[in-house]
Amino acid sequence: MGNKKGKVKEMKKSKRILSLALALVITALCAAGCGKTNKTQGLGKNLSSEAKQALQDGKTVIVISKWPAKDSPDYETMEEKRANFMEQNPDIFLEPSQFRFDFKTFTAVAAAGELPTMYDTYFTQVKPIIDDGFATDITKSLKKIGFYDEINEKLLPYTTDKKGNVYALTYSAYYQGLHINKNIFKEAGLVDSEGNVLIPSSYEDVYEFSKIIKEKTGKAGFAFPTAEHVGGWHFVNLAWAYGVDFLKKDGDKYIAAFDTQECYDAFEWIRKMKKDELFPTSTVTIAQKKLYELFGTGQAAMMIADPPCQALPIDYNMDPKSFMVASMPEGPAGRFSQLGGDVYMFRSDATEAQVDACLKWLEFNGTTPEITEERAKAIEASNKKVIANWNGIVLPKPAFSLWSSPERDAKIAEIYGKDTNVIPSDYDSYYKAEGVTIRPEPEVACQELYSILDGVIQAIYANTDADIPALVKDAAHQWQVNYLDKLN
Amino acid sequence: MKLKGNKTIPNNLLRSISTNLSGWMLLLPGMFLFFYIIWRPIFIGITYSFFDIKGFTPIKFIGLQNYKYVLSDTQFLRTLKNTVSYVFWSMIIGFPLPILCAIMLNEMIGFKQYFKISLYLPHIMPTIAVSVLWINIYAPDGAGLLNMLMQRFSLGPYQWLMNEKSVIPLLIVSSTWKGFGGTMLYYFAAIQSVNTELYEATRIDGCGFWGRARYVIIPHMTPIILLMLIRQIIGVFQTLDAPMVMTSGGPNGASMTLALTAYNLAFRYGRAGEALAVNFITFLLLIGLTFVYYGAEKKVSE
């Protein structure tokens, strides 16, 4: 009996020891998975072994975003450029990253310290990113490399903080224009005596033309977005044309200023377009992608977008010569178009050496005020690739100049003109932009404003007899109380 | 706190741990993960909701300021009402359907397996695919499937998702279509555990289908029904995917939920502190509902 008790005790003891050992092993394995990654200043992500070696060798290592994936037609070209750049700059190591800005994940990635040294984003995100402390001042580096004085001064307000320090470098800028499906217009008989498509000059013309298009072809005249802030963003251009100012300042206080007759009139235009069924009826939740789909598949004859709208030929096989882009329609207060753009920003902990290295790479890759012969050839080759590899659009010239040099603009236009696959005269009205005032978006809480305006547009879509003044009053109140008062 | 005799809670706990030491040690890694992945983020989220946040980093303690902003938002009460409306409609549409289907499936003699699989299939479809499918069913013109059916009876076309009154019930219909199959299997499993002698007894007593359902099946299923009830309320209260994909919270905020509001605050507007405040308010409301459930469950057990 005594022996049995002793054996049971021993068994219990060994069971406990075994359980303890198992528990420790499993806990260690779990903890191993939670270990911190090795981050280095200005770099973030887990570096490749080559990058680590470069760091040890004392090189300046930079991580660059928007690198093409291995199966992309551009990958080989970019790898070749990377190799050439590092050969010409032996003290720099460039680590590629496929990071692309996405507002849904950006803050989480930035808070985790995983941003590349140089990352892409949009104009609208520059100030929030500066406020959140995820970017560094690059003014000194821009002056060093000679870019600062060459930047188009119209772009500077979008890329600076309140003190005028530059935090971003624009690599692409554009303003919106009226896209017109020439085939639908011709089918509806909206052509002049020489067979050229008639361009609607005003929003009233857009309405009248849409009526004719619907009558003659059964298709929607105009696609207007309604969701994901895109509706509000587009409506701002329409509202400006009717004389609406969304934001006013009373001393230091921001005041929502769009509860006005002019705003009611702008929404009345939306109402009458909807009531007469001149918008597409197949869907009501229209965000950016849906907007392009409606135009690209010929369900709508017109839309507002910024050229080049690459989705049209690439995703919907639209012939680039089958549509044209005109300047924004006119309203009672004139023509207005919002300026948009894409920028590069730099991690808040990036060193000056890293920022300098990134700017050198940009200069090497073509974002530079100078057009050398080599650079000209590279632009030509790139334009040819856009058509050959992607079936994309090459415009007669970039929509908006990044630099303040008319000679450069002329040179660029000459290079683009060689490979453009659109009819240049189809873009005359857009490029001339006669009478068009290019405006920046409202200074603060603009995404919130767009969301609120989306709601008003949806309310009108849902009920074409909706009380527009009441909706606008409520929208202005929402913007004021929920967002502007928190800033005041 | 002392129990009967010389027992105290700490003593009982120590005795339990000592008796089952192996078990507790094997539980440790799981508990560690549970704490680190589930409880720790909750505690951090609640703490951060009292801070001014830049990016995702707390900068300054501001007390209840985030809660004041959230509760004073002109759309908060409407969003709360919408969320409760989702729960209400899910009780009407989504709750009885799996129970009925499970009972009917149990009564079937032939093709049981076929129907079981068919009814379960929507459950395994990705949520986004289901949402896109139903967007096309609800399309407002004549090409939408629902409007096509309506037009056969000389009705419509209707706006469906663009109608502020019908948008929430319609979203619940699409969510129910996806989710009811999984819940039905739980009920079906519960019905399978009914003693067959009880069925014999009901047959002898002359009960038909409704009698069996009323006196045998549903009383037997009551515990699982109550459990699923509270799970459904908690789940639907946190609805995010359907309004996000199908309506973006529209038209004009008519389908906006607390969860979608928190998402927009955190990721669209960069107001993580207010997003956490919304989530904590949701958490408190659900805790309240859970206590109500436990009270009801206790009464039912008694």
A78 to each of A54, A97, A265, A365, how far by Cα in Å? Answer: 20, 12, 50, 9
Q: What is the pLDDT of residue B50?
A: 96
Contact (CB<8Å) B73/A27 = no
Helix axes A352-365, A75-88, angle to 10 degrees: 120
Round to whole Å and give the CA distance between A74 and A67: 9
Long-range contacts of B120-129 (CB under 8 A, 24+ apart): B120/B181, B120/B182, B120/B184, B120/B185, B121/B181, B122/B177, B122/B178, B122/B180, B122/B181, B123/B178, B123/B179, B123/B180, B123/B181, B123/B182, B125/B178, B127/B178, B127/B241, B127/B242, B127/B245, B128/B241, B128/B245
Round to whole Å and give the CA distance between A96 and A465: 54
Q: Is B56 on the interface with A (CB under 8 A)?
A: yes
The distance from CA A130 to its chain's CA centroid, rounded to whole angstroms, is 17
Q: Is B251 on the interface with A (CB under 8 A)?
A: yes
Chain A residue with the nearest C-alpha to that of B244: A228
- Best A285, A288, A456 member to test B by mutation, with max B CBs in 10 Å, is A285
* Residue A111, min C-alpha distance to chain B (Å): 6
Round to whole Å and give the CA distance between B238 and A423: 52
* Residue B151, min C-alpha distance to chain A (Å): 15
Round to whole Å and give the CA distance between A274 and B149: 24
Q: Enumerate the residues of chain B whose CB falls inside 8 A of the CB of residue A20.
A: 25
Task: Report chain A's mean pLDDT, rounded to a whole number.
Answer: 90
Window from A232-246, A470-484, B45-59 with minimum mean pLDDT: B45-59
User: What's the complex ipTM?
Assistant: 0.79
Q: Which of A107, A283, A284 is opposite residue B267, by nearest beta carbon?
A: A107
Biggest CA-to-CA distance, chain B:
80
Decide: helix, strand or coil at residue B58: strand
Q: Which two tokens stand for residue A340?
A: 């948009």
Most confident of A203-217, B28-42, B208-222, B267-281: A203-217
Window from A149-163, B47-61, B210-224 with minimum mean pLDDT: B210-224
pLDDT for residue B46 is more than 70: yes
Contact (CB<8Å) A455/B253 = yes
**Lookup result for tokens 């960069």:** B270
Q: Which two tokens stand for residue B199?
A: 């069925």
- pLDDT above 70 coverage of chain A, percent: 93
pLDDT for residue A37 is more than 60: no
Q: What is the pLDDT of residue A82?
A: 94
Q: For residue range A336-371, what is the model confidence (pLDDT) as tens digits?
A: 999 888 999 999 999 999 999 999 999 998 888 888
Q: What is the pLDDT of residue A369?
A: 87
Contact (CB<8Å) A111/B32 = no
For B76-255, CATH number? 1.10.3720.10
Contact (CB<8Å) B250/A458 = yes
Average pLDDT over residues A407-434: 92
Chain A residue with the nearest C-alpha to that of B69: A482
User: Which domains does chain A carry?
Assistant: 49-166+342-365 (3.40.190.10), 177-334+418-487 (3.40.190.10)
CB of A222 closer than 8 Å to CB of A300: yes
B21 phi and psi angles, rounded to 5 deg: -55, -40
pLDDT for residue A124 is more than 70: yes
Q: What is the pLDDT of residue A129?
A: 92
Q: For residue range A176-220, what is the model confidence (pLDDT) as tens digits?
A: 999 999 999 999 999 999 999 999 999 999 999 999 999 999 999
A319 to each of A182, A183, A310, B264, how far by Cα in Å? Answer: 11, 11, 11, 37
- Work out the pLDDT band at A274, boundaries 50, 70, 90: very high
Round to whole Å and give the CA distance between A380 and A416: 7
- pLDDT above 90 coverage of chain A, percent: 65
Q: What is the pLDDT of residue A26?
A: 64
Residue in B99, B106, B104 with CA at minimum distance from that of residue B225: B99
Pairing of strands A335-346, A118-122: antiparallel
* Residue A147, min C-alpha distance to chain B (Å): 30
Average pLDDT over residues B22-50: 90
Task: Report chain B's mean pLDDT, rounded to a whole number.
Answer: 87
Q: In chain B, positions 158-177, which contact chain A (CB-CB < 8 Å)? A: 159, 161-164
Q: Enumerate the residues of chain B whose CB falls inside 8 A of the CB of residue A451.
A: 264, 268
- Work out the pLDDT band at B300, boundaries 50, 70, 90: low
Q: Which of A22, A104, A132 is opposite residue B26, by nearest beta carbon?
A: A22
- pLDDT above 90 coverage of chain B, percent: 47
* Residue A482, min C-alpha distance to chain B (Å): 5
pLDDT for residue B250 is more than 80: yes
Q: Enumerate the residues of chain A whose CB falls inside 8 A of the CB of residue B75.
A: 478, 482
Contact (CB<8Å) B36/A16 = no
Most confident of A4-18, A24-38, A261-275, B278-292: A261-275
Q: What is the pLDDT of residue A23?
A: 67
Q: What is the pLDDT of residue A208?
A: 97
Chain B residue with the nearest C-alpha to that of A22: B26
Q: What is the pLDDT of residue B27?
A: 86
Q: For residue range A286-341, what is the model confidence (pLDDT) as tens digits?
A: 999 999 999 999 999 999 999 999 999 999 999 999 999 999 999 999 999 998 88
Q: Is B255 on the interface with A (CB under 8 A)?
A: no
Q: Is B241 on the interface with A (CB under 8 A)?
A: no
Q: What is the pLDDT of residue B201?
A: 79
- Work out the pLDDT band at A378, boundaries 50, 70, 90: confident
Round to whole Å and give the CA distance between A321 and A324: 7
Q: Is B206 on the interface with A (CB under 8 A)?
A: no
Q: For residue range B221-245, what is the model confidence (pLDDT) as tens digits?
A: 888 898 899 889 999 999 999 999 8
Most confident of A204-218, B2-16, B51-65: A204-218
CB of A113 closer than 8 Å to CB of A350: no
Q: Give kind and range of the element (H or E) at residue B263.
A: helix B258-263
- C-alpha count within 13 angstroms, C-beta hemisphere, residue A165: 11
First to last CA, chain B: 27
Q: What is the pLDDT of residue A115?
A: 93
Q: What is the pLDDT of residue A34?
A: 54
Round to whole Å and give the CA distance between B171 and B119: 19
Chain B residue with the nearest C-alpha to that of A15: B22
Q: Enumerate the residues of chain B whose CB falls inside 8 A of the CB of residue A110.
A: 55
Q: What global pTM score does this model have? A: 0.84
Give the residue extent of every domain in chain B.
9-48, 76-255
Q: For residue range A380-400, what is the model confidence (pLDDT) as tens digits?
A: 988 898 898 888 999 999 888
- Best B33, B62, B252 member to test A by mutation, with max A CBs in 10 Å, is B252
Q: Enumerate the residues of chain B whose CB falls inside 8 A of the CB of residue A270.
A: none
- C-alpha count within 13 angstroms, C-beta hemisphere, residue B21: 14
Q: Enumerate the residues of chain B whose CB falls inside 8 A of the CB of residue A134.
A: 55
- Work out the pLDDT band at A2, boundaries 50, 70, 90: low
Chain B residue with the nearest C-alpha to that of A447: B269
Round to whole Å and give the CA distance between A202 and A192: 17
Round to whole Å and give the CA distance between B260 and B266: 10
* Residue B234, min C-alpha distance to chain A (Å): 25
- Work out the pLDDT band at A141, boundaries 50, 70, 90: very high
Q: Which two tokens stand for residue A420?
A: 């453009």
Q: Which two tokens stand for residue B204?
A: 């002898």
Contact (CB<8Å) A478/B75 = yes
Q: For residue range B109-165, what is the model confidence (pLDDT) as tens digits?
A: 888 888 888 989 999 999 889 998 999 899 887 778 999 998 889 887 888 888 899
Q: Which of A22, A30, A454 is opposite residue B250, by nearest beta carbon?
A: A454
